[in-house]
Structure 1
């Protein structure tokens, strides 16, 4: 199994160039996958990249 990159909510927000609250909203709506390690919440980097890829494919017209 390869290395799985885990991001903090702040790191995910920086990559996506959105606020931490937006990342939390995406997590709660099921758009981003997370895991909990102890009391810490981590976002899967693949989930962030996948979401951004999906949004790039959306026809906004």
Structure 2
């Protein structure tokens, strides 16, 4: 459900404070996003959350 209604659904991934919504690999996340990291089916949401949750709009 999160995939289709992120902006209207409230869950643990989206309700975290902005302090917790930081990229672990900030300098590379922009490049990864351009290359499809945030939208690719190859990577799971857990991986996106771990490394680039702010850039991928996961929180």
What's the TM-score once normalised by structure 1's chain length? 0.30
Q: Is the helix fraction higher in 1 or 2? A: 1
Higher relative contact order (CA 8 A, sep 6+): 2
